[in-house]
A and B are shown apart, each in its own frame.
Chain A
Amino acid sequence: MSPKGRVSLRGIRKEFGRFVALDDIDLDIEPVEFFALLGPSGSGKTTTLRLVAGLDTPDEGTLTVDGVDVTFAPPGERDVAMVFQNYALYPHMTVRDNIAFPLKMAKAPASSIDELVREAAAKVRIDHLLHRRPGQLSGGQQQRCALARAIVRKPKLFLLDEPLSNLDAQLRLETRVELKKLQRNLNVTAIYVTHDQEEAMTLADRMAIFLEGTIKQIGTPAEVFDHPNCVEVAAFIGSPPMNIIPAALNGRTLTIEGHSVALHRDPGHPPGPVIVGIRPGSLRIDPEGIPTQLYLQENMGETWLLNLKLGEMIVKMRVAHSERSAEGETVPISFAPGAIHLFDAETGLRVQVN
């Protein structure tokens, strides 16, 4: 049996009144893939997920699952399960009845229901809580109950809308690991909505970066992190994200705030303004470098983050404890020419440097 759960979105557009929530979305999700929709709040991730679930229909475009056009199919016919951000557990039913509900609606034989419920509950380790009501569960337990309800009937597609956002930090880390294991065991396509890039980076096989209703980039976490294809993605990915610095390019020569740096090779970009992206960790202290003023330093635990004044801008730089300085001091900085990202000042698109 070939794996199921290939999802394709083609030219999807969704409007709420005059507001365009999604504009020309193209997306292909492979079977058994853990796919993250990552983007800031309000960028259209949930809207996309709801279209896939069938809870909303697009104004334009088509949606196919395993080659079948399901753009306007009702949710019940799509064989998808969803974990809602606030779980949407049925408060008047016990955990057992919550998990059994999808089976009952699918008219599973009564004799098999008990066994399947127990199995699903055991997978998320809540089999000792079956007799409780959702109101008597902790946040983490409610979340597991929602997961169990979603996996119990072995759906083709598993949709998760910020499932970890209501948990505290510690529990979030633990559950993240389990979620990944669970998805691998189930061997099912998962679409995972999150605004937390760390979650997306660690969980996803691939991800799509959403910004203001459009997809800016699709790729593996490494691809997106190492080769952001536009300034917007560059400014979003990483914590803190890379420094975005206006500069001028002329052949191989890059000029930042009046200081010239030679690149390894000519990027072949017409001379003129460009935008330079440098990760805070790619900057280094260099007596020969561009002078900056230390504005503020923040303790990040393992490292320190220096906020440096370069002209009117603040540039962030990650340093070891030993490299801390005093506020107001001059800190000369430089970077390896291979460590920078270059973007066209006009279009914001990536210019290949190396």
Chain B
Amino acid sequence: MNVYRHARLLRTIVLMIVTGALLLVWVLPLIWAFVVSLKSEREVLAYPPSVVFEPTWSNYVDALFGSFSIVDSLLTSTIVATATTVLTIALAVPAAYAFARLRLPAKRPLGFYTLATQMVPPVGLVIPYFLILNRLSWLDTYHGMVIVYLTFSLPFAIWLMVSYMEDIPWEMEEAAFLDRASRLQTLWHIVIPQVRGGIAVTVIFVFLNAWNEFLFAVQLGGNTVRPVTVAMYNFVSVEQTLWAKLSAAALVAMLPVVIIGIAAQRQIVKGLTVGAVKGGARK
């Protein structure tokens, strides 16, 4: 028997076990939540947990159409997350290009402060933001919420996009200049098509962050702007927690995230690895 083939087989098996274990850690809570969402509220509290039970979809019906329906808040989350994402990309792409390519005064300090905003703990910002929005009467408004989200997503997106743009050979843009392309035409025809993978990655990160955000949503939102992360909280009250309905709502709220993840999987992997390989090869 070939020793090398043995070794390779062994390695494959070990790899599978490790991957499987990691996957289990991620997936187990989801499976648990799914099982809970199919139980009645009474059965959820049974101890030891019941394994055999009558599955029911009623929790989903309640979560979507009951007295605490999350449908409106799903719409709110979609609007907030989409607006945040679109604005972030529209502003981050040109800004990243400027950082990557233009000779700007104070480029280095600007780059540093852009990143520094990411180092402040969010909790420290909630109160200042609350006071500012309050003064502007922007509390519980869509534009107020989106602008607050932009203060987080923009620096992150710029920082991410800069690294993708720096990977494009400068000579390629010079070739375009010689062919009479302007800066903007070069950005549009040469740079952006080549960082599509990076833009896809940025879109996903920004959208998911906005979609999943809770702390600022709960403080700066209200009855008009109530994203689904906040709305779910209605199932938790002082008297009781409706675990089954909460689980059902949480799983519904996760659905867009999962769909985007699957749809963009190839782009994400490409976007992440292309940058890595190019950067590595150049050093």
Within 8 A of B (CB), among A142-171: 149, 153
Stretch at the interface among A88-96, A222-230, A328-336, A341-349: A88-96
Q: How many Å lie between the Cα of A82 and that of B172 in the bound state?
A: 11
Indicate with 1 or 0, residue by residue over B170-187, a CB within 8 angstroms of chain A CB atoms. Answer: 011011111111100100
Does B181 lie within 8 Å of A88, measured CB to CB? no
Q: How many Å lie between the Cα of A93 and that of B192 in the bound state?
A: 12
A-chain residues with CB within 8 Å of residue B193 when the two chains form the complex: 92-93
Q: How many Å lie between the Cα of A239 and that of B215 in the bound state?
A: 74
B190 within 8 A of A: yes
Does A55 lie within 8 Å of B179, measured CB to CB? no
Does A92 lie within 8 Å of B194, measured CB to CB? yes
Does B180 lie within 8 Å of A105, measured CB to CB? yes
Known contacts A88-B169, A88-B171: A76-B189 contact under CB 8 Å: no
A-chain residues with CB within 8 Å of residue B178 when the two chains form the complex: 53-55, 75-76, 78, 80-82
Does A75 lie within 8 Å of B177, measured CB to CB? yes
Does A76 lie within 8 Å of B175, measured CB to CB? no
Within 8 A of B (CB), among A53-78: 53-55, 74-78
Shortest distance in angstroms between B281's beta carbon and chain A's nearest beta carbon? 13
Q: How many Å lie between the Cα of A54 and that of B175 in the bound state?
A: 11
Q: How many Å lie between the Cα of A142 and that of B155 in the bound state?
A: 38
Closest residue of chain B to A80 (Cβ to Cβ) is B178
Q: How many Å lie between the Cα of A105 and that of B190 in the bound state?
A: 12
Interface of chain B, main secondary structure: helix
Does A102 lie within 8 Å of B174, measured CB to CB? no
Closest residue of chain A to B172 (Cβ to Cβ) is A88
Q: Which size class do B's interface residues fall under?
A: 10 to 19
Does B175 lie within 8 Å of A88, measured CB to CB? yes
Shortest distance in angstroms between A301's beta carbon and chain B's nearest beta carbon? 37
A-chain residues with CB within 8 Å of residue B175 when the two chains form the complex: 82, 84, 88, 90, 149
Interface of chain A, main secondary structure: loop
Does A55 lie within 8 Å of B176, measured CB to CB? no
Checking A78, A80, A90 against B172 with a beta-carbon cut-off of 8 angstroms, the contacting residue is: A90
Indicate with 1 or 0, residue by residue over A76-117, a CB within 8 angstroms of chain B CB atoms. Answer: 111011101010111111000000011001100000000000
Does B174 lie within 8 Å of A90, measured CB to CB? no
Known contacts A90-B190, A101-B189, A105-B185: A76-B172 contact under CB 8 Å: no
Q: How many Å lie between the Cα of A312 and that of B171 in the bound state?
A: 48
Q: How many Å lie between the Cα of A5 and that of B78 in the bound state?
A: 59
Known contacts A86-B171, A88-B171, A88-B172: A74-B179 contact under CB 8 Å: no
A-chain residues with CB within 8 Å of residue B189 when the two chains form the complex: 90, 101
Does A76 lie within 8 Å of B179, measured CB to CB? yes
Q: How many Å lie between the Cα of A75 and that of B186 in the bound state?
A: 13
Does B171 lie within 8 Å of A84, measured CB to CB? yes
A-chain residues with CB within 8 Å of residue B185 when the two chains form the complex: 105
A-chain residues with CB within 8 Å of residue B176 when the two chains form the complex: 90, 101, 105
B-chain residues with CB within 8 Å of residue A105 when the two chains form the complex: 176, 179-181, 185
Shortest distance in angstroms between A108's beta carbon and chain B's nearest beta carbon? 11
Within 8 A of A (CB), among B192-212: 193-194
22 A-B pairs with C-beta separation under 8 A: A53-B178, A55-B174, A55-B178, A75-B174, A76-B179, A80-B178, A81-B178, A84-B174, A86-B169, A88-B171, A88-B175, A89-B172, A90-B172, A90-B176, A90-B189, A91-B194, A101-B179, A102-B179, A105-B180, A105-B181, A149-B179, A153-B179
Report the 6 A-B pairs with minimum CB-CB distance, sorted nearest first. A102-B179, A76-B180, A88-B175, A88-B171, A105-B180, A92-B193
